[in-house]
C-alpha cells in the first residue's frame, strides 16, 4: 500500500481502491492507473459505507477492513521514525469513529437560482461531487446540507467565485466561515448579503462570516475546552473530532503531571492550555492574535486555574528562546504541518526537562524530534491518533524526557 492509500504493483504501478494481495485488472495508462476490476479480492476488502466513495475525493480507504487499515497507518508512522533511527514505545492507537468529524470544508458550485451544488472535490479534479450523506461527518452537518446549499446560492454574483463553506459544529450551533467569494469586483452586493443573512436565519445557524467579516450572528459560537468556555473567532482552528481532542489532551495532561511551570507553544484558542493550567502556571503563545484574544477572554470564566499568561507571537520568526524558558520545566508544542524546527531548536538549547509534541505531520515531527534527541532528550512514548478516518493521514502525540 502506497503512502497516499493507493495499492502498489510491480513496475511500480499505483492504483486507487486496491489492497495488498489482490489480483486486479487496471486501465491502460502510465504509472498511475484506474481500477477496472478486482479479479481476486483480499479477505480484508469490505463494502464502503458511503455511496459517494469511488467518486468523492474526501476518503481513500473505506474499502479496507478497519483493524488492517489502522495497523497500516501505525506501521507507516513507525517506519517514518525508523528512517531517522528513532525507536520508542507505541501506545494503542486512538481511532476516530464514524459520524464524529465536527468540521468540514464544503465546496460550492453554481446550480439553480436558489440552490447551489455543494459537496467535496472529485478525485483528481476541481469538479464537485454533490453529497447527500457523509459517514465521517457529525450528523448535524449532514442534516444541514439542504440549508447550506441554499446559503451558498447567493454567492455567485461574480463568475470567478468558487466558494468554500468551512462548517464547524459548536456548542451553540453551526458556525460557517465562507471563503473563495471574488472580492476584486467589490465583493457581494447588499442584496446578496441580505439573502445570506435570511437563509442563515432560516437554517438557525449560529454565525456566518465572509473571509472573517460578520455576515450573520444569532449566537456566539462557543466550545468547551476543559474548564473553559471559549468564544471562537471566525475560522479558528479546532481538532477535527472532539474525541481526538480529548485523547490528545489526556495524553498531554498525563505527561505534564508534576510540572511546576508549563509553556504551551502554538496554543491556538487553548486546546491544551486550560487543562494544563489546572496543573501549573502556563505561558501560552501562538501566532494567531484572534486566537490569543479568545483564550484570554475565556480565562475569567474558567475555575481552578493556576494562572495563564498568553501572548500573540510568531513562533517561526520569533520562537520562545531558551533563555525565556529558564523557569519552564515542561514545554508543549503543537505546530501546523510545517512543524516547529525553530522552536524545537530553542527547547533543545534550554533546560526544559520534558517536552510534549503534538503533530499532524509525522515527517516534520521526526525532523523536530531529531533536534531534541541530539540535544539529550529521549522519546519516551508515542500515541498514534487517527482522527481523519479513511484517509492516509495519521497524527500523533509524544513525550520526550532528558
As annotated, the active-site residues are 360
For residues 81 and 365, the answer to whether their CB atoms sit within 8 Å is no
- H or E segment and range at residue 297: helix 289-298
Residue 286 per-residue DSSP state: E
Q: Nine-digit cell at 150?
A: 441554499
Give the number of other Cβ atoms within 10 Å of residue 124's Cβ: 10
Q: Which of 251, 256, 252 is nearest to 281 (CA)?
A: 256
Q: What is the DSSP string of 184-253?
A: TT-SS-HHHHHHHHHHHHHTT-SEEEETTEEEEESS--EEEETTEEEEPPTT----SSHHHHHHHHHHHH
For residues 333 and 355, the answer to whether their CB atoms sit within 8 Å is yes
> Which residue reads 452586493 in cell numbers?
189
Give the number of other Cβ atoms within 10 Å of residue 180's Cβ: 16
For residues 354 and 259, the answer to whether their CB atoms sit within 8 Å is yes
> Which residue reads 481500477 in cell numbers?
35
Q: Chain-centre distance of CA 74, in angstroms?
A: 18
**Measured distance CA(241)–CA(127) in Å, rounded:** 27
**Measured distance CA(176)–CA(104) in Å, rounded:** 10
- Tell me the pairing of strands 354-359 and 330-333: parallel
- What are the b/e assignments for 35-57, b being 16+ CB within 10 Å? beebeeebebbbebebebbebbb
Helices (H), 23-144: 66-82, 139-143
Amino acid at each position: 500500500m502506497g503512502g497516499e492509500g493507493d495499492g502498489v504493483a510491480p513496475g511500480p504501478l499505483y492504483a486507487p481502491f486496491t489492497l495488498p494481495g489482490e489480483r486486479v485488472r487496471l486501465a491502460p495508462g502510465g504509472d498511475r492507473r484506474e481500477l477496472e476490476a478486482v479479479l481476486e479480492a483480499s479477505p480484508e476488502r469490505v463494502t464502503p459505507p458511503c455511496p459517494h466513495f469511488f467518486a468523492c475525493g474526501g476518503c481513500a480507504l473505506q474499502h479496507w477492513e478497519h483493524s488492517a487499515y489502522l495497523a497500516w497507518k501505525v506501521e507507516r508512522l513507525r517506519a517514518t521514525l525508523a528512517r531517522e533511527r528513532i525507536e520508542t514505545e507505541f501506545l494503542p492507537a486512538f481511532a476516530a469513529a464514524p459520524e464524529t468529524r465536527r468540521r468540514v470544508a464544503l465546496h460550492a458550485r453554481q446550480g439553480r437560482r436558489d440552490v447551489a451544488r455543494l459537496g467535496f472535490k472529485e478525485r483528481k479534479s476541481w469538479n464537485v461531487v454533490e453529497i447527500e450523506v457523509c459517514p465521517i461527518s457529525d450528523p448535524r452537518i449532514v442534516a444541514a446540507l439542504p440549508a447550506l446549499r441554499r446559503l451558498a446560492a447567493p454567492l455567485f454574483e461574480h463568475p470567478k467565485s468558487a466558494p468554500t463553506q468551512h462548517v464547524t459544529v459548536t456548542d451553540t450551533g453551526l458556525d460557517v466561515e465562507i471563503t473563495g467569494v471574488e472580492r476584486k469586483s467589490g465583493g457581494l452586493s447588499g442584496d446578496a448579503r441580505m439573502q445570506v443573512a435570511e437563509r442563515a436565519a432560516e437554517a438557525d445557524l449560529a454565525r456566518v462570516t465572509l473571509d472573517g467579516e460578520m455576515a450573520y450572528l444569532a449566537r456566539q459560537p462557543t466550545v468547551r475546552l476543559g474548564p473553559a468556555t471559549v468564544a471562537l473567532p471566525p475560522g479558528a482552528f479546532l481538532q477535527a473530532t472532539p474525541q481526538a481532542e480529548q485523547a490528545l489532551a489526556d495524553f498531554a495532561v498525563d505527561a505534564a503531571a508534576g510540572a511546576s511551570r508549563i509553556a504551551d507553544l502554538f496554543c491556538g484558542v487553548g486546546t491544551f492550555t486550560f487543562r494544563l493550567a489546572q496543573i501549573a502556571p502556563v505561558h501560552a503563545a501562538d501566532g494567531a492574535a484572534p486566537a490569543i484574544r479568545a483564550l484570554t477572554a475565556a480565562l475569567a470564566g474558567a475555575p481552578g486555574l493556576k494562572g495563564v499568561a498568553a501572548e500573540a507571537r510568531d513562533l517561526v520568526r520569533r520562537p520562545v528562546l531558551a533563555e525565556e524558558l529558564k523557569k519552564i520545566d515542561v514545554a508543549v508544542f503543537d505546530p501546523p504541518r510545517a512543524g516547529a524546527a525553530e522552536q524545537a531548536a530553542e527547547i533543545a538549547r534550554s533546560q526544559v526537562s520534558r517536552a510534549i509534541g503534538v503533530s499532524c505531520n509525522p515527517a516534520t515531527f521526526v525532523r523536530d524530534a531529531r533536534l531534541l534527541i541530539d540535544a539529550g532528550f529521549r522519546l519516551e512514548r508515542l500515541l498514534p491518533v487517527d482522527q481523519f478516518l479513511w484517509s492516509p493521514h495519521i497524527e500523533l502525540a509524544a513525550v520526550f524526557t532528558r
